[in-house]
Amino acid sequence: MIKNFLKTLLIVAFFGVSTVSYAQFNLKKAIGAATKTVQAVTLTDQQMANYVKESVQWMDEHNPVLPDDNPYTQRLNALTDGITDADGIPLNFKVYDVIDINAFACPDGSVRVFSSLMDIMNDDELMGVIGHEIGHVMKRHSKEAFKKQLLSEAMMDAVGSTSNKAAQLTDSQLKDLSLAFINAKYSQKQEKEADECGYDFLVANGRNPWGMVMAFEKLQSMEGDSGAKQSYISKMFSSHPETKDRIKKMSEKAKKDGYNRPVANE
């Protein structure tokens, strides 16, 4: 496959220099780009797993992770007790003591919830957010977002394609990869898929799916507030009509499935 690809590049190079524009064609650069394309195609699942693991470890080391005896951690552990698996992906949960309103889930099943999000969510709403984030993992959205960042121009030279062992990354590179988890923005189609998958995940684990509806309503009502606390809101709700439609569809589904909406308690 590589031979054919490079042969095609040579043909393009020949005709490229013979055009009227006489544009320069840097064959060496083109071949380098071809090699990087091949690396992108041949990146193995094991390599991906290694990079995800390294990135999650870096995040946990560079963020204030609350200990097991902290009330935030105790609350999260109580809510997620017995929830250990998502479509074959083992789950683990931790709380970051930071001011942003945020939560995210990594391809390896690491779920990280920010303490400021927990401050504004009741238990049902918090589980709704967690269910949605796990939905992204189950639909492999977070894996694709991470892979895209891993194979960006800034990272390509650090990524090998001949071994299952992940290349050693610098602190700066690990920070960039970690931000891919925290700030990942998904398409409206992917958000809807995560809604549906998260809804089913909550139901399968004995949780009221109305929590997701209530969480989204609360977050949407906060749009327009200033400051760093908007990070999760802005990445989830890029379109007002789409957000309203998502909330409506989940509400209708919960009613149809016979679930009663919990009384909101702050």
Q: How many residues does the chain have?
A: 266
The pLDDT score that the predictor gives to residue 153 is 56
Q: Which amino acid is at 126?
A: L
The pLDDT score that the predictor gives to residue 253 is 95
The pLDDT score that the predictor gives to residue 264 is 67
Of the listed 54, 125, 133, 191, which one is catalytic?
A: 133
Beta sheet of 110-114, edge-to-edge order? 92-96, 110-114, 103-105
Closest CA relative to residue 215, chosen from 188, 233, 229: 233
SS3 52: helix
For residues 133 and 189, what is the distance between their CA atoms, to the nearest angstrom?
Answer: 14
Q: Which residues of 198-226 are buried (b: 16+ CB within 10 A; e: fewer)?
A: bbebbbebebbbbbbbbbbbbbbeeeeee
The pLDDT score that the predictor gives to residue 166 is 56
The distance between the two most distant Cα atoms of the chain, rounded to a whole number of Å, is: 73
**Cβ contacts of residue 40 below 8 Å, gap of 6+?**
151, 156
133 is catalytic: yes
Give the helix/strand (H/E) hosting 19: none
Contact between residue 132 and residue 212 where contact means Cβ atoms under 8 Å apart: yes
* Tokens coding 159: 């990524």
The pLDDT score that the predictor gives to residue 51 is 85
Backbone angles phi, psi at 222, to 5 degrees: -90, -10
pLDDT in tens, the chain (266 residues): 444 444 443 333 433 444 444 444 444 444 444 444 444 445 677 888 888 888 899 999 999 999 999 999 999 999 999 999 998 999 999 999 988 888 999 999 999 999 999 999 999 999 999 999 999 999 998 888 888 877 765 565 566 544 555 566 778 888 877 777 777 778 888 888 999 999 999 999 999 999 999 998 888 787 655 544 555 666 665 554 577 888 999 999 999 999 999 886 65
Q: How many CB atoms lie within 10 A of CB 249?
A: 15
> How far, in Å, are 115, 131, 216, 229 from residue 222 at the CA level?
17, 20, 10, 10
